[in-house]
Chain A
Amino acid sequence: MKAWLTAFVVIVTRENLRFVRQRGRFLSALVRPLVWLVVFAAGFRAALGVSIIPPYQTYITYDVYILPGLCGMIQLFNGMQSSLSLVYDQEMGSMRLLLTSPLPRWWLLFSKLASGVIVSILQVAAFLAIAALAGTTTPLVGYIAVVPALVLSGLMLGAFGLVISSTVRQLENFAGVMNFVIFPMFFLSSALYPLWKMAESSPLLRDICALNPFTHAVELIRFALYGKLDLTALLWVSACFVLFMLAALWGYEPARAMLRAKA
């Protein structure tokens, strides 16, 4: 068991050192949601009214509404960024080195995944701190209660990133992932508008959003930020995590990669 823990620690340390070195990545991870919060939310505050829906007990301003969605956005982008580093590792051969460790493959991939989650939580913490300074806050208990929610949503989104990266052969193809996976996933969710609002314009769109795992990650975070638990979201996110992790383990079978390379 000590060997498992040691491997976990070195994998997490390596990913975190990589992240610290990439200051641009940290800045862009913060700037992206802050632009949404400061510019987008300010513009829409007047246009959009959000009625009282759980977990809120009073009318809220739009910036308060999109805060959990932006936390999810950070994790979504980070999950993809981490999986991008896996594609890089595959191209550079470091993945081979990792997989020749005498530890179970699932544990090595899980450690990789967990290291990405830790990085994403640090990013979300920095974002929430800046948002609080800018006046967008949440109850104090929420800052603690959100941590387990972020762990679970981070694991689910990270595993989703692993699945995507296992199907991408080259770094160059990754730009397509941004256009065809990340943006639809973000916009077709409850991150920017509540689902009832979406239903007003299109019930079909609402249904699509309700089936989007990212919607449930956002709702899990939203409720946790108010010290509450959305059981449906918890079940959705947990089930999706297990599903994505199994698919990632299947996708990261090196024999399959070698077959593809020889094809």
Chain B
Amino acid sequence: MTGLEVSHVSYRYGARKALDDVSFSVEAGRFCALFGPNGAGKSTLFALLTRLIVTGEGRIRIGGFDIARTPRAALARIGVVFQQQTLDLDMTVRRNLTYFAGLHGLSGRSAAEAIDAALAQLGMAERADEQVRALNGGHRRRMEIARALVHRPEILLLDEPTVGLDAASRQAITDHVHLLAERGLAVLWATHLVDEIQAADQVVVLHRGKVLSNGTAGDLAGGQGDVRGLAKAFLSMTAEGREVPA
């Protein structure tokens, strides 16, 4: 399959197990919310998906490429937005994106075209020559998403991308990324905020390093299909000392 496939992945920090037999997949054109409270293992999973760390337990395939066996091919197919902003504030938007494009081997005209297309996709074209320092939080995040799209990835990973943003910016960014999924990207969106999830989205619930549930948001909400229903379902699953089978 194309998209993302995580099979029986485990990871330990010393004696502590951060991920325990995690399996799920995200197909092209799907928006998948990786839902979990703080400490659930989301950031560890993202570090594994971006090969910042490696594990000998389980398998990760990205765009059909095994990240352990063909890391370069797999990484070339991923766009990442980290939780922590990773921008050079004293450079322009375009220069930041040019740097990133270069890290993926794009230069000259092909890089310029890819940057223009990515910025246009996020409605940031007119801000290309502004210094990042002059942008507000929402625009900086949009710029990071545009940057993650420059090398035309098949999978977009976003680790709690709306942290610290106001409600309007959060909504705009969530809508934008849903649109990207509709256009064919496989999106994995880590969050602990239920209002960022739509009824048709795939939701993987991660708690204490284990997948508790994997299905659509509508199914998870038990037919209620709204934010309150989802919140209730998540709370019951992730309540202290209780585990609900997937």
Contact = CB atoms under 8 A, between A and B. Distances in A.
Interface string B85-122: 11010110001001111111111000000000000000
A101 B85 CA distance: 17
Nearest to B89: A92
A254 B86 contact: no
A100 B51 contact: yes
A185 interface: no
B88 A10 contact: no
B53 A10 contact: no
Interface residues of A, number: 32
B106 A100 contact: no
A7 B80 contact: no
B75 interface: yes
B86 A102 contact: no
B102 A6 contact: yes
A96 interface: yes
A96 B72 CA distance: 16
A27 interface: no
Nearest to B111: A6
Given A6-B105, A17-B91, A255-B54, A100 B75 contact: yes
Contact of A258 (B51, B52, B103): B52
B124 interface: no
Contact of B72 (A17, A94, A102): A102
Nearest to B18: A262
Main secondary structure of the interface of A (DSSP, over half): helix
Nearest to B78: A100
A262 B90 contact: no
A90 B98 CA distance: 20
A98 interface: yes
A7 B98 CA distance: 10
B107 A97 contact: no
A21 to B, nearest CB: 6
A9 B75 contact: no
A102 B14 contact: no
B105 A3 contact: yes
Interface in A3-49: 3-4, 6-7, 9-11, 13-14, 17-18, 21
B84 interface: yes
B106 A6 contact: yes
Contacts of A103: 72, 103, 105
Contacts of A258: 13, 44, 47, 52-53
B24 interface: no
Nearest to B47: A258
B23 interface: no
A112 to B, nearest CB: 12
A2 B14 contact: no
Interface in A96-151: 96-104, 108
A176 interface: no
A254 B13 CA distance: 13
Contacts of A11: 99, 102-103
Given A10-B103, A14-B91, A258-B53, 14 more contacts: A2-B105, A6-B105, A9-B102, A10-B102, A21-B90, A97-B82, A97-B103, A100-B80, A101-B104, A102-B104, A102-B105, A254-B53, A258-B13, A258-B47
Interface of B: 13-14, 16, 18, 44, 47, 50-54, 71-73, 75-76, 78, 80, 82, 84-86, 88, 90-91, 95, 98-107
Q: Which 8 A-B pairs have the closest CB atoms?
A: A3-B105, A10-B102, A101-B103, A102-B75, A93-B84, A255-B53, A254-B52, A102-B76
